[in-house]
């Protein structure tokens, strides 16, 4: 059932133009920039999913007629969001490595793109996923808060986390341009990964419980 739900999501709810948001990873080659912003462009793609294609393709009506529980509907969307976010992160790795060899100076406008940086990106995605899922499935349609509010809060969290190593000397060890202090960087990444998985899973459980009481 899970595989079928994911196929339904990508066939009906994910516009093909949404994949162009993945090209934002090319911005990692800019010499100086707050690179966490690169990973926020994906939120606009999610807005297209919820605001346009879900309604155009009558996704809510279709899901109501399928022989699956409401929890399955939410689970399919949660997995789809996670897949897109994971693809965005993994697709950026070759660009991050290429950037390391092209530009030999630290990023003057924010945190360097390293393993710890990706841990913070995952925390940002975790915040968005929690708000997005819970806010979307508390009623039949909800767009402004889950997308707008989720994006705003997630971006603020991402900016704060990636700015902290710049302004707080105690955290400078995780802002190495390359693979220095790899151990602590790996810990930050692992924590970010756990937070991402836990927040999305918790958001699914919470959203599914609320969606059960929604009258479609």
pLDDT of residue 158: 96
pLDDT of residue 199: 97
Residue pLDDT tens, the chain, 216 long = 677 777 777 777 776 666 777 888 999 988 888 899 999 988 887 776 665 666 666 666 666 666 677 777 888 889 989 999 999 999 999 999 998 888 888 887 889 999 999 999 999 999 999 999 888 877 655 566 788 889 999 999 999 999 999 988 888 889 987 777 888 999 999 999 999 999 999 999 998 888 877 655
pLDDT of residue 155: 96
pLDDT of residue 37: 94
pLDDT of residue 60: 67
User: Using the 8-state DSSP alphabet, how is residue 179 labeled?
Assistant: S
Long-range contacts of 187-190 (CB under 8 A, 24+ apart): 188/115, 188/116, 188/119, 188/120, 189/115, 189/116, 189/118, 189/119, 189/122, 190/119
């Amino acid at each position: 059932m899970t595989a079928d739900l994911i196929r339904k999501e990508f066939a009906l709810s994910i516009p093909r133009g949404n994949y162009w948001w993945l090209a934002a990873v090319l911005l990692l080659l800019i010499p100086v920039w707050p690179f966490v912003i690169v990973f926020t462009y994906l939120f606009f793609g999610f807005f297209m999913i919820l605001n346009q294609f879900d309604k155009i393709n009558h996704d809510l009506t279709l899901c109501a007629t399928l022989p699956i529980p409401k929890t399955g509907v939410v689970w399919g969307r949660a997995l789809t969001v996670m897949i897109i976010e994971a693809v965005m992160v993994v697709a950026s790795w070759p660009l991050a490595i290429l950037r390391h060899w092209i530009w030999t100076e630290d990023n003057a406008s924010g945190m360097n793109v390293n393993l710890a940086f990706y841990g913070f990106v995952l925390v940002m995605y975790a915040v968005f996923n929690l708000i997005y899922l819970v806010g979307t499935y508390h009623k039949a349609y909800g767009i402004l808060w889950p997308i707008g509010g989720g994006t705003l809060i997630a971006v603020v969290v991402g900016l704060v986390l990636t700015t902290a190593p710049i302004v707080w000397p105690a955290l400078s060890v995780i802002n190495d341009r390359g693979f220095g202090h790899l151990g602590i960087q790996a810990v930050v990444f692992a924590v970010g990964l756990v937070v991402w998985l836990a927040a999305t899973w918790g958001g699914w459980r919470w959203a599914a419980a609320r969606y059960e009481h929604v009258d479609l």
